Amino acid sequence: MIDIHCHILPGIDDGARGLDDTLDMAREAVNEGIHTIIATPHHKNNKYDNPQGIILQKVEQVNKALSNEGIDLKILPGQEVRIYGEVIGDLDKEEILTLNHTQYLFVEFPSNHVPRYAETLLFDLQLKGIIPIIVHPERNQEIIERPEVLYNLVKKGALSQVTASSVSGHFGKKIRNFSFQLIEANLTHFIASDAHNVSSRGFKMAETMDVIESKYGIDLVYFFQDNAELLLQGNHVYQETPELIKKKKFLGIF
């Protein structure tokens, strides 16, 4: 498997604290059947600034350490960019890093809302040939309450990535069920770990693919796995027509 979202680089955000943690995460990833990881440290999320140059240095350092330890895992560069107004300018300054130098870019919203300028910014990114991928929409409070917000963004060309632990229930039943709704409405295109460590925020990729196969069949597992590989190569990913999530009836009332 390919994991396109992981905080495995040591000492630069709230993921691996040092190289020993990185190696522990790497071993767990291999045990789960992961052979390639895109490292995506936080950038511009009020706590961490990790511009392109720092990330590229860390990726090189980690790949050397993995080779020295005989761990059969490849790390590629990426970034998890918290949405902010100067994203396009910083892309031009080469501070922003796309996923493995492709046209795909991770965009993170604040946990409780979607900024008003998000639609315009995501459109402007697409005008520059960048395809935005909204990370963990299933954990965004506004999207949970108003899933049409995500529908409108996906309909206009954005993609999204759901966290494996959300699907397998590690963030609770509500988020698990909403993740299923996003999958069923064709509103997400990737499953990735968003792993931060080997204790509280592990990979859960193998477990999650088992859940998806059991609930939806093997073809959907292949859909998500193939999309990760297509992204890695900078090719067009598979997309189905997005649908609006219908709100459930409560006591017979909408």
On the question of pLDDT at 196 being above 90, the answer is yes
Architecture of the domain made up of 2-233? Alpha-Beta Barrel (3.20)
What is the arithmetic mean of pLDDT over 50-75? 98
Burial class (CB in 10 A: 0-12, 13-18, 19+), 98: buried
CA 18 to chain centre: 22
Burial class (CB in 10 A: 0-12, 13-18, 19+), 113: middle
- State the angle between helix axes of 19-31 and 52-69 in degrees (0 to 180), rounded to the nearest 10: 70
**Confidence tier at 217 by pLDDT (50, 70, 90):** very high
**Confidence tier at 101 by pLDDT (50, 70, 90):** very high
**Confidence tier at 205 by pLDDT (50, 70, 90):** very high
Q: Lay out the sheet containing 74-77: strands in order across.
A: 2-6, 36-39, 74-77
On the question of pLDDT at 249 being above 60, the answer is no
* Token pair listed for 9: 């680089």
Q: 77-96: buried (b, 16+ CB within 10 Å) or exposed (e) per residue?
A: bbbbbbbeeebeebbeeebb
- At 68, give phi and psi (nearest 5°): -60, -35
**Confidence tier at 254 by pLDDT (50, 70, 90):** very low
Q: Tell me if residue 37 falls in helix, strand or coil.
A: strand
pLDDT by residue (tens digit) across 22-38? 999 999 999 999 999 99
**β-strand partners of 104:** 131
Q: Tell me if residue 147 falls in helix, strand or coil.
A: coil
What is the arithmetic mean of pLDDT over 221-227? 98
Q: Hey, where are the domains in the chain?
A: 2-233
Confidence (pLDDT) at 248: 58
What is the arithmetic mean of pLDDT over 180-199? 97
**β-strand partners of 132:** 105
Confidence (pLDDT) at 253: 44
Confidence (pLDDT) at 252: 45
pLDDT by residue (tens digit) across 118-153? 999 999 999 999 999 999 999 999 999 999 999 999
Contact (Cβ atoms closer than 8 angstroms) between residue 105 and residue 132: yes
On the question of pLDDT at 168 being above 80, the answer is yes
Q: Tell me if residue 250 falls in helix, strand or coil.
A: strand
- Return the number of other C-beta atoms located less than 10 Å from residue 223's C-beta: 20
Confidence (pLDDT) at 45: 86
- Structure pTM? 0.95
As a whole-number percent, the residues of the chain with pLDDT over 90 amount to: 95
Q: Which residues make Cβ contacts (< 8 Å) with residue 184, sequence separation at least 6?
A: none
